[in-house]
Amino acid sequence: MRRETLTAVSLGGVTVDLTIEGRRIARVAPNPGPARALILPPLIDAHVHLDKTHAVDRVPARPSSLHDAIDLAAADKVHWTTADIDARATRALTEAEAAGIAALRTHIDWSDPARPQAWDVIGDLAAGWRDRVHVQRAALVPLDLLGDADLGPAIAADVASTGGVLGAFVYRNDDLPTKLAHVFALAKKHDLLLDFHVDEGLDARARGFDDIVALTARHRLAGRVLCGHGCALAIRPEAEVAVLLDRAAEAGVALTVLPMTNGYLQDARPGRTPRLRGLAPMQEARNAGMDILIALDNVRDAFYPYGEYDLLDAWRVAVMQAHLNPELWIDAITTLPARALGLPDRTLAPGDPADFVLLDAPNLTGLIDRARLRPTVWRAGRPLTAPEPAREIA
């Protein structure tokens, strides 16, 4: 059986020698010297858009607002053939795997009662990638459609029959509480996880998050409801938000923060430097007891024209924008999104699978210093990419 030891690596802030036998970790022993490299659990991205991704070269203009981006993305759908979606999403998954992402949840536009083509295309792709990157599909349905008492039930049943997650875009909808109540009832009926795009704008009147928190508590769905964005929380009165975050933590609602797309789109006006970046109060939310995740969101599409599927890049941006302590926030892209997606906790202890990310940095601060650092991704006891030096092989 192949045996390999990674020496002087930082694991959970402690310098160790990590020995691998076959496909599993055999031994973790303390090392008194300084760490030369860093080991992280597999990265988990809870919020991407594989249906839209890598289409930026077809987008005729840069968006001036979120709603402008929505219109630009809708116009691009004339190009969305099976082959087109498959090619763009395959590129995304290839990038994600190379960057150490072991699992992701992709939102897929579901704008009409009928199941969208992309749902099946990405479902087939997920089956082919199951041993490389675990892919969950979340239906991104307008709340006015999913909350419709006549149309919503068929959509929820379809999502349930295909193993998906139920989700909606929520932003100052008419009769919002009633429509959200319908969505929660559908999730309960079909035992579905919920994932909302909510209050993605700088309008203090956007308060869908409040209703989601109340409904989660009422239905006792702690750990089964994830919200993304929450930009409006950044501009509401701080005392009011503090009470709301306490309620969200007690209800068991988690929040995904998307620093790159929100930073690009929010408060955007031509010829003017943005003042407000739409970053949800993530430190306050975490201090209240909420699970806070960091994710990529859009990559090279109408919403965000740059980047690749490098989750550490989004983490670095969040650390800098929100003044986070790197040592305390790495779980926002590892263990916490795994929990939100209902995946098993991936520990790195003797007997565990040797699945991890190895980086040529002595600690998490080193990941900020070396922004272009590429990881060595290990799966089942072997590196997928060229291994780093300073290893002893027995």
**Catalytic residue flag (residue 392):** no
Rounded Cα gap, residues 99 and 240, in angstroms: 39
Phi, then psi, of 122 in degrees rounded to 5: -75, -30
Chain segment 322-356, per-residue pLDDT in tens: 999 999 999 999 999 999 999 998 899 999 999 99
Same domain, 336 and 302: yes
The single residue of 4, 21, 95, 200 carrying the catalytic annotation is 200
Same domain, 386 and 295: no
Q: Reduced to 3 states, what is the DSSP secondary structure of residue 247?
A: helix
Domain limits for position 376 = 3-41+347-393
Same domain, 52 and 32: no
Same domain, 36 and 84: no
Last residue of a domain, one of 296, 320, 340: 340
> Contact at 8 Å (CB) between 110 and 154?
no
Please report, for the domain that includes residue 389, its CATH number.
2.30.40.10
Rounded Cα gap, residues 379 and 133, in angstroms: 11
Note the pLDDT of residue 59: 95
* 389 has a pLDDT exceeding 50: no
Same domain, 317 and 254: yes
Rounded Cα gap, residues 46 and 60, in angstroms: 29
Same domain, 16 and 68: no
Phi, then psi, of 167 in degrees rounded to 5: -150, 160
Asked which of 32-36, 191-195, 241-245 is least confident by mean pLDDT, the reply is: 32-36
Task: Please report, for residues 13, 107, 183, 186, 375, the alpha-carbon distance to residue 189 in angstroms, rounded to integers and kept in the order given.
Answer: 44, 21, 10, 5, 42
Same domain, 81 and 186: yes
Interval 275-302 mean pLDDT: 97
Please report, for the domain that includes residue 247, its CATH number.
3.20.20.140
Note the pLDDT of residue 236: 97
Same domain, 299 and 372: no
Note the pLDDT of residue 386: 53
Same domain, 82 and 211: yes
Query: What residue type is assigned to position 373 of the chain?
Result: L
Rounded Cα gap, residues 344 and 354, in angstroms: 15
Rounded Cα gap, residues 281 and 243, in angstroms: 13
Chain segment 35-71, per-residue pLDDT in tens: 999 999 999 999 999 999 999 999 999 898 999 999 9
Phi, then psi, of 375 in degrees rounded to 5: -80, 160
Domains in the chain, number: 2
Please list, in sequence order, all residues whose beta carbon lies within 8 angstroms of the beta carbon of residue 181, skipping any fewer than 6 positions away. Answer: 147, 215
**Please, which pLDDT band fits residue 370 given cuts at 50, 70 and 90?**
confident
For the chain, the average pLDDT equals 95
Look at the pTM and tell me if it is higher than 0.85. Answer: yes
Binning the chain into helix, strand and coil, the percentages to the nearest 5 are: 40, 25, 40
Same domain, 243 and 377: no
Q: Which residues pair with 45 in a beta bridge?
A: 104
Rounded Cα gap, residues 319 and 326, in angstroms: 7
Residue with tokens 């070269």: 57
Last residue of a domain, one of 324, 340, 356: 340
Same domain, 122 and 267: yes
Same domain, 172 and 28: no
